[in-house]
């Protein structure tokens, strides 16, 4: 599915901000956070199609707060600086905000009435 491919691309994009020895692109908590936002965005697009895309994206970020906190703790425990962690999440959120509207549209178009 294209949305999963976007999540994988996201991980590649954000990995540049942290040195290779300190963090791989597939750090489990970072992957869990990205997948949480991706899945929540898809779910919200299907369940609440009448709300604006920006609101769906904001709700998805809010719903994944615990996953973000776990990812931040995990990165800090690996010795990644607070600045690098902020940069990583800034880039992650920027990428999601750029790609999610198209994915929301796809979810809405493919929605099957019940």
Q: Give the list of residues 6+ apart from residue 60 with CB closer than 8 angstroms, or none.
A: 37, 40, 41, 44, 96, 100
- Please give the full DSSP string across 69-106, using - where no structure is assigned: HHHHHHHHHTT--HHHHHHHHHHHHHHHHHHHHHHHHH
Tell me if residue 51 falls in helix, strand or coil. Answer: coil
What is this structure's pTM?
0.73
pLDDT class for 108, splitting at 50, 70, 90? confident
* Cβ-proximal residues to 107 (8 Å cutoff; 6+ apart), any chain: 42, 45, 46
pLDDT digits (tens, 9 = 90+) for 69-82: 999 999 999 999 99
């Amino acid at each position: 599915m294209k949305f999963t491919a976007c999540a994988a691309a996201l991980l590649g994009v954000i990995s540049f901000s942290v040195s290779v020895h300190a963090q791989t692109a597939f750090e489990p908590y970072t992957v869990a956070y990205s997948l949480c936002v991706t899945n929540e965005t898809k779910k919200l697009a299907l369940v609440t199609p009448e709300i604006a895309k920006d609101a769906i994206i904001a709700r998805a970020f809010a719903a994944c707060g615990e996953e973000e906190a776990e990812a931040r703790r995990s990165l800090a425990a690996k010795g990644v600086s607070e600045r690098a962690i902020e940069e990583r999440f800034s880039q992650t959120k920027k990428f999601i905000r750029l790609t999610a509207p198209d994915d929301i549209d796809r979810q809405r178009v493919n929605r099957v009435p019940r």
